[in-house]
Amino acid sequence: MKLRRILKWIASIILLALILWVLIAYWTSTNDCERYSAVPNNLMKAIVHCEYGSPNVLKFEDVEKPVPNDNQILIKVRAVSLNAFDVYVIRDTWLGRLIFGLRKPRDTRLGRDVAGIVEAVGKNVTQFKPGDEVFGICRGALAEYSCAFERALVMKPSNVSFDEAACLPLAGLTALQGLREGKIQPGQKVLINGATGGVGTFAVQIAKSFGAEVTAVCSTRNVDLVRSIGADHVIDYTKEDFTKNDQRYDVIFDNVCNHSFTERRRVLTPKGICVLAGMGGAGVKQGQAIRRIVGNLFTARGLSSFTDQKFAQYMTKVSKPDLIMLGDLIQAGKLRPVIERTYKLNDAPEALRDLDGGHARGKVVITVKQDNKI
Ligand SMILES: NC(=O)c1ccc[n+]([C@@H]2O[C@H](COP(=O)([O-])OP(=O)(O)OC[C@H]3O[C@@H](n4cnc5c(N)ncnc54)[C@H](OP(=O)(O)O)[C@@H]3O)[C@@H](O)[C@H]2O)c1
């Protein structure tokens, strides 16, 4: 009896502490939008999002130019490519608020994939010097300048444009690392579901460079596009469901996850691997995304433990060797970024609106002009 009372007390205290923590976290989760301490001679243009919402909340503003710390590199940004992630970050959803800040977005700056010229380096940086042309991953790339760490940057091949190099980081790494999760081998039959977005267009080409026979799944308007980047077979998902045909695949690289596990197992070979890469791109709605994430989390692990067919989940990692490999592939002509459209920095809201539509063709790129001419 006494023990039960003590346990009740402990549970009440934990509950109270939790409520208090949520309240404090909510009221303290603000951002620096009201507190810019920029001085007139140290300004740059950048895209800022102070609130959650649609791409309409984005502002093109003067902000303080970043200063690299001892381990950072200051990049004069020449091009940025957008990812589905940049759309998820600004959306007003409860899942987004839990991850990116309860009341307001903690990080007000957008953009991850960058290509540009090294302007200055911190004292511990050994691999880069001012003037080097680089590409990689940073925070707040949608700006005239941005800081990155050495481990997330590599040299840009000389025959590759800044726009092309900026397409590579997140989408290229996701495609490359996902196909590795699928243990892709030459001669295997590989199906790419969601083959025409940022990740898919790289996955088709990288799978081909590994010597696979590639089937691309896309909508009618993109059939010619996937053929042009090397797909051997194309399935138009508006006319045919790939899980209903008789073909079997050694690897399914699934960017959409819009079929049940049973349906996908039907078209996997007995020891086939389905790589759960994404949830449908920038256009996916919160409810859909949560259903797909939860399904992946619980069912994938369970099924993979009990059958020879595997469902592999992974998070893309920033990897310097993989960035170098992507650079080599593009330099050797084995990879060609598909660029849907390029925009100027001040048109970033329009670019994100396009991506938000959910039917991007390849990558959307923001070009940042030299000499501060936006
Ligand atoms: N695992 C990781 O760590 C990681 C890292 C980065 C990205 N991702 C995920 O990867 C996914 C793809 O990203 P992305 O940048 O390629 O997105 P994206 O550029 O927005 O492309 C999404 C693609 O999905 C296609 N699509 C939409 N509905 C479809 C359907 N029913 N069947 C087949 N294809 C369909 C669209 O093609 P159509 O126009 O032809 O419909 C579009 O090309 C996202 O969900 C993203 O979150 C995962």
How high is the mean pLDDT in each 10-residue block of the chain (374 residues)?
A: 84 89 76 64 91 92 94 98 93 87 90 98 97 97 97 96 97 98 97 96 97 97 97 97 96 95 95 92 80 81 83 95 96 93 95 89 91 51
Residue 23 CB contacts under 8 Å (≥ 6 apart), including other chains: none
Ligand 1 contact, 60 CB (< 6 A): no
What is the structure's pLDDT at 358? 83
Predicted confidence at residue 40, as pLDDT, reads 63
The whole-number pLDDT of residue 1 equals 66
Eight-class DSSP state of 280: S
- Alpha-helical segments (H) within the chain: 2-28, 84-90, 94-100, 162-167, 169-181, 198-209, 223-228, 261-266, 286-295, 301-306, 320-331, 348-356
Spell out the long-range contacts of 88-96 with Cβ–Cβ below 8 A and sequence spacing 24 or more.
Answer: 88/282, 89/49, 90/49, 90/52, 90/53, 90/54, 90/55, 90/57, 90/58, 90/352, 91/52, 91/53, 91/54, 91/286, 92/52, 92/53, 93/52, 93/286, 94/286, 95/286, 95/289, 95/290, 96/52, 96/286
Given this model, what pLDDT does residue 241 score? 97
Q: Whose CA is nearest to atom 21 of ligand 1?
A: 197
What pLDDT does 38 receive?
A: 54
Q: Is the CB of 243 under 6 A from ligand 1?
A: no
280 lines ligand 1 (CB under 6 A): yes
Mutate to test the pocket of ligand 1, among 256, 355, 361 (most ligand atoms within 8 A of CB): 256
Residue 120 CB partners (closer than 8 Å, separation 6+): 68, 73, 74, 130
Ligand 1 neighbourhood includes 194 CB (under 6 angstroms):
yes
Q: Which pLDDT score is estimated for 331? A: 93
Query: At how many degrees (to 10) do helices 169-181 and 198-209 cross?
Result: 50
136 lines ligand 1 (CB under 6 A): no
Residue 243, both tokens: 């899980």
Tell me, using a 6 A CB cutoff, whether residue 170 lines ligand 1: yes
Residue nearest to atom 34 of ligand 1 (CA): 194
Residues contacting residue 40 through CB under 8 Å, at least 6 positions apart:
none
